[in-house]
Amino acid sequence: MTEEAPQTGQTFNGNPNPAAPAKLRRKERQAAALALRLQGGSYRKIAETLRAKGLVPKSYHGGKAHADVMAALAEFNTQLAEEAEKVRRLELERLDVLLAALWPKASGKTVDYFAFDRVLMLMDRRARYLNLYKQEPALGSKDNPLYVMPPVTEMVVEHPSDGGDEPDPVDETSEEAQTGAVEG
C-alpha cells in the first residue's frame, strides 16, 4: 500500500514535500527576485517590486531580497553542477568506448603507433576528467600568488674565460663600443 501525500502537511514519507504550496510560493518568489536582479535591480528595488506585485508581505525588505537571490543562485549552481556531472559521465563513457576500440591495436604483438598515441591521449583526457593530476598549491593568497624564482647562481650562464671559442662580449656602454677603437 502506498502512502498518499498529506493535504496540509509538509512531509511525505518523512521527506519534505517538494510540491507543498509554501515551497512553491518561495521558489516563485526567489525566481522573481533573481530575474529582477539580473535586470540590474537593487535589492531594495526588488523588495519594492515584489511587494507591489503582492508576491511578498509588507515586511519584505532588501535583506530578504538578497537572501532570495542568493538562494536562487545556489539552487542554480547545484543544478548546473548536477548537469555538469551528467555530461562528465557521458564523456567518460564515450572515452571508454574509444579506448576499447583502440586498445587491441595499441597493445598487440604488432603495435600500431598511431593507435598507441591515441590511447595515451584518451588516457590523458580521462585523467583530466577525473581530476587525477595533482595540482601544486600556490604560495601566497589566491588573488596574489607568489612566484618562487630559482637562485641567481642557477640563472647565471658561465662564460668561457680560458680562451674558448667564443669571443668576449663587448660592453656596449664602454668607450670601445661607442668609438669602435680597440686598445692593443
Query: Best-predicted range by mean pLDDT among 8-12, 76-80, 155-159?
Result: 76-80
Query: pTM to 2 decimals?
Result: 0.49
3-state DSSP of the chain: CCCCCCCCCCEECCEECCCCHHHHHHHHHHHHHHHHHHCCCCHHHHHHHHHHHCCCCCCCCHHHHHHHHHHHHHHHHHHHHHHHHHHHHHHHHHHHHHHHHHHHHHHCCCCCHHHHHHHHHHHHHHHHHCCCCCCCCCEECCCCEECCCCCHHHHCCCCCCCCCCCCCCCCCCCHHHHHCCCCC
Higher-confidence position of 121 and 164: 121
Higher-confidence position of 109 and 171: 109
Q: Percent of the chain having pLDDT more than 70?
A: 64
pLDDT single digits (tens) 37-57: 999 999 999 999 999 999 899
Does residue 83 have a pLDDT over 50? yes
**Mean pLDDT of all residues in 87-112:** 94
